[in-house]
Chains A and B, each alone.
Chain A
Amino acid sequence: MVALSLPAAAAVAVFGSLYGAAARGFLGVPLTLVSSLIVYSGALQFAIVALLGAGATTLPLLLTAGVLNLRHLVLGAALRSRLESGPLRRALLGFFLVDETFGFAIAAGNAAEPRAVGAATERTLLYSGLTLYVAWLVGTVVGVLGGGLAAVEGLAGALFPVLFIGLAALAVTRRSHVVRAVAAALLTAGVALLLPDLRLLAPVVAGVLVALPGGDR
């Protein structure tokens, strides 16, 4: 599963370079590098650049961070039952919890023997998290240095839906999961069309809403 995170890492590096190139003009080189080092969130960092470009002050930046990061609470809760180590190690693993690493960790846990679910989940979260983190940092440095990878942006952009479809397929363990996944996709599309301002929150809200009703078959 960690090896399968390499294509995702390549795409993350491309977007890191785009971020580095875009953020350099607003944050300067040092803060651009520090932002990728300590924030490590593509969605939030691109949003910060867009907000700064629109002349936003500190409060909108903080509110945006709060809203965009809400999804981590859901991802963390869904992962919690699979993590068996102590709070300190879980606190370390928490830094690497992003959409993609969550997917790899869930998939690794699903593929493991019942007694090895915790170890497989934690190992995958750590190693795929490190891989994607390094890719994000390297991409940012490349972008800051002016070596943007815009030529392959299209290919990198295509990887994310493919990756998420693959992770959805891996996460399906019952027929009812397929129905819920389709319902969540339709709900997300509806929100994107009707309430575009909530588009970034839609995936997690839809995921939770369709998980609540009914039983499993």
Chain B
Amino acid sequence: MSRRYSILSLLAGALRGRSYWQPAWRDAAPKAGYDLVIVGGGGHGLATAYYLARVHGMRNIAVVEKGWIGGGNVGRNTTIVRSNYLLPGNAPFYEHSMQLWETLEQELNYNAMVSQRGVLNLFHSDAQRDAAVRRGNAMRLHGIDAELLDTRDVQRLYPSFDFDNARFPIKGGLLQPRGGTVRHDAVAWGYARAASALGVDIIQNCEVTGIRHSDAGVQGLETTRGLIATQRVGLACAGNTSRVATLAGLRLPLESHVLQAFVSEALKPLILGVVTFGAGHFYLSQSDKGGLVFGGDIDGYNSYAQRGNLPTLEDVCEGGMALLPALGRVRLLRSWGGVMDMSMDGSPIIDRTPIDGLYLNAGWCYGGFKATPASGWCFAHLLATGQTHTHAAAYRLDRFSTGHMVDEKGQGPFPNRH
């Protein structure tokens, strides 16, 4: 079950045909009770379980997932990792995540295809250049890598872009060389495998239907697979957080919105790294299989539907055509939507709730994937010790009533604009 992968084991396994490949983690059935249960078997929930077991030595814990591992947003994102944040509340957290990504495969003994191919944010005007310089300086002050590129630098990296665009000329870009992409499914599988090997029960097809609690705190979870007694529960339910929190009578500063993503047919290497267009909302990378992976804004209305509407596709493609006219000759292979837990200031929440023993990890907006390791790390720290981790100190639930918002875009309490 928990055999260690190495080049020798893979070679030996190849000689033994398919008998080598056994399930990588136990498909556990729920026990009557646990010290702690995490609701949500996505990237964040599985990472939390892994760090609880590995760093904090908690082994009598479970992850309950209503569907299957990797079926939610961890398998529905555009695989981008970066730490190019501006605000002091965000930068150390995401940089911690970046550092955990850099050692993830050795840590988990699992090939997650971590590829630091660089994330480039283009700018198209003097004002945007000033903003990029400011952001780059803020990043460097936090010890994060950032390089300012001019038009010629960008042209050298991406000759296929439209450099004659009169309306949105490419004036340069801010590059984070350590950013890149990670195979998203492998992140879920790697964390699941490593957590399972440490004794964590991963319980699939187990939907939480009730949270038993009293004034003394949480007592257990009612699920479609029976009652699970526990006094500590961590919610990591992404887009469905509000629905689960309602079971405990909580209203949260969240709205669920749909974000679409798109993949083209496979092409020969064209796009080296991850690029964002600065004059609209469009981001692009190329997967190792060759497909162009791209996306843009959320649709902008409340949705749990995991699919969006065509006007957003049109808007995304307009951005794409302004940046890379050759995109118009490429056929779209598939598109999909994921449900985003959009918070009121665009930043996440990792905190306790007013109910004793009930903890919250939510509000990832559409930046949850890159945060997976640090989110797991900090949430595990909170769940195990009861203390907020330094890097997640700004992500308090009560910041909305105390005025300590972490609003990277300065948009105010309008989740569809973050």
A and B from one assembly? Answer: no
